[in-house]
Amino acid sequence: MPARVRQWLKNHPRWTCLLGLMLLVILLDRCFPPPIPNLNQDAATVVLARDGTPLRAFANAEGVWRYPVSLNEVSPRYLEALRGYEDRWFDYHPGFNPLAFARALMQAVWHGEIVSGGSTLTMQVARMIEPIPHSGVGKIRQVIRALQLELRLSKSEILTLYVNLAPFGGGIEGVQAASYAYLGKPASQLSHSEAALLAVLPQSPSRNRPDRHPERARAARDKVLNRLAEFGDWPSGVIAEARDEPVVARSLRPPMLAALLAERLKREHPDSRRLHSTIDATLQRAMETQLAQYMQRLPEKTSAAVLVLDHRNLETLVYIGSAQYGDELRLGHIDMVQARRSPGSTLKPFLYGMALDAGLIHSESLLLDVPQDFDGYRPGNFGDDFNGPIAASEALRLSLNVPAVDLLDRVGPQRFSARLAHAGVDLNLPLAAKPNLSIILGGTATQLEQLVGAYAALASGGMAGSIRLLQTDPESRRQLLTPGAAFIVRNMLADHGRPGDPGALIDTSRRKQIAWKTGTSYGFRDAWAIGVTPEHVIGVWIGRPDGTPVPDQYGAATALPLLIDLSERLPGQARFTDVRPASVQLATICWPAGTLATDNADGSCRKKREAMLLDNLAPPTLLDRASKASDALTVNYQVDTKSGLRVSPGCSDQPSLTLTKTRWPVLAEPWIGQVERDYNRLPAFAPGCQSESLSPSDSLRIEGLVNHSVLRKAPGSDEPVRARLRAIGASGRVDWLLDGRWLAEQGPAQSFDLSFTRTGTQTITALDEQGRFGQIEVRVE
């Protein structure tokens, strides 16, 4: 130290002592700083709805419920009540209020006990961040810590610590957690009465808890209101209204809406403390309640999942991952929105859309719902019924399996799977397995959320999307179908009408229009229903999470009724109002050709249908598998102009005429009736010309019963009527059907034992691989 400095300090002992004291204070302050906490480091996590309503709250590692907020996120009413009641001079004192401190000391001496603490908000923060005993020495220590805080932090920062650390009982810290827990709302939405209540509650959180002691809480609140009225902080009218407001608090429990979604978001965003989801809290609560009521009619181990998407922006409005969160019997902890399950028939709309885009079909194309073999894969329908020739729109609405497998075989399973994967629908297959024809009937696995995102394409110009769960999630879409194909498929599904009203007898003009599709996985393990409304996509899954089959539970019976009920709760417009794309045209087409009615002036227009075409294309009916590749439905042939008999080139010197006929597919003949079968026959050949080959219906006959037989039970017998049948002239495998319902498959020389379980007129059909068939009609009495 320079000599002059030493001399000055020696000549001024008082200044020397003061400087020494200051240096000591600074040294002690640096050595023992106040433990200012990082509010985000050990904060709890809360998942919020789109309007700020808490969906679910999670305590931190110490079991404390605290959700950090800034002062801007707290109602000004609360800050006014807090300052007016706790520390009116907060903005002016250095950390402690000497006048209040002196008053408290005098009251303690006079009464022999502490009457008022005289603590400022800064001193209270000091005690919140560090355990300080309630004693004289503790009070001095508290003042010192308050001074340290004032030196380091601004008034706003100190107040922020208070609103986040103040104790509210039950392990709750901070006004945000208290507002969520007791009032079910964020601290930004407090009324004057609620603000006064929360301002006083930290003084005695256990004694004045509003959920346990509402009268004490009311008295404490009124004490705050009286103080604010005394100093004119709030107008008298506001004070009077606040006094009249009852103290109503929820039982102290964390919110539990969209519980599995909250767990998912917390797991996916571990560093975030407040997660702002896209969930509509009102809809979520209503649909959770409705689902719980619906599940009462189902077996106790059955669970369910519901997902509601706004297809205009892909925001998820309702996310229910299980029928009842925490229900052990229903495995309520498993999120079935994310679980991979067999989709059943829910992929069929995308197949029909791709077939439209590929130019294979239009909306009314003639497809064949008949027994067919696809290289050893022989699909059947639900219930084993076959419908014969059927329009593409009806085949989709009825969810028929054979037409879907036929289309997938033509589109290509790998191409179909790749298009879905590009749009966000991943189909799980066994290791090393390639996509095959079974995937269209549920022989794969995917997720409810992926299906719902894909169905958004039907109302969004063919653009599928990934569902958005957080408000910060980007909107991501990918092309799945062209706008025209998506529009046609959606209209095909919307023509379902509403279940329970097949004749459209109910006025549904004010009810929600919905295009829906159901699905059921093999063995009744998964029941699905997915619907598209003018603004939303709704997905429903019902089944057992452990994969156990649930007999008699299938999409149309179990999931669809719930889907329709939930759709009625959705806000927004009731009818689709989007304009038909320019690529979609309405036209009249003809069966069996499948082409425009104007192209069938030769008498081949056996049946007209109104169809939606894509890009003005009317693809002809697809050739069935019983026909040779060189065959065609439309044939040209020559007839003798005099006799009308068929001739071939060079076999007759008589004048001939060339005619054209479009015939029904070979496999359709058992279903088209005798008039159309006669139409399908070409004229017989003239003498000396080529012999006509046998037609399918003439080349196979049923032996064992005579056509139009009447069958009766033996007198006194309870046994059903039986008959042993055989197909004569069959080639390859023979399918036996009764009234269009598949019964069995037999070899060409094998006999078939048929039991008649009901009475009345019935039709027996035997159909071989080449499309040859025999058909007889019997009456059972």
Annotated catalytic residue 345: yes
Q: Tokens representing 228?
A: 């604010």
Secondary structure letter of residue 725 according to DSSP: E
Instruction: Give Dmax over CA atoms of the chain in angstroms.
Output: 150
Element holding 220 (H helix, E strand): helix 214-230
Spot the catalytic one: 75, 345, 604, 699.
Answer: 345
CA distance linking residue 140 with residue 408, whole number of Å: 83
Pairing between β-strand 526-532 and β-strand 463-465 as defined by DSSP bridges: unpaired
Phi, psi of 683 (to 5 degrees): -60, 155
Give SS3 for 80: helix
Per DSSP, helices labelled H in 528-628 are: 560-567
For 5, 26, 45, 430, 520, the CA distances from 12, given in Å and listed in that order, are 11, 21, 59, 92, 97
Spot the catalytic one: 86, 364, 669, 769.
Answer: 86
Annotated catalytic residue 86: yes
CA distance linking residue 80 with residue 86, whole number of Å: 10
Element holding 669 (H helix, E strand): helix 669-680
Element holding 727 (H helix, E strand): strand 721-728
Secondary structure letter of residue 379 according to DSSP: -
Asked if 261 and 59 touch (Cβ cutoff 8 Å), the reply is no
Could you give the count of Cα atoms lying within 13 Å of 583 in the half-sphere of its Cβ? 16
Residues in the chain: 781
Bridge partners of 613, per DSSP, are 585
For 121, 167, 251, 752, the CA distances from 217, given in Å and listed in that order, are 21, 15, 14, 85
User: Where does 480-543 show beta strands of DSSP type E?
Assistant: 515-520, 526-532, 536-543
291, 297, 299, 304 alpha-carbon torsion, rounded to 10°: -20
Asked if 392 and 361 touch (Cβ cutoff 8 Å), the reply is yes
CA distance linking residue 209 with residue 215, whole number of Å: 10
**Catalytic residue annotation:** 86, 345
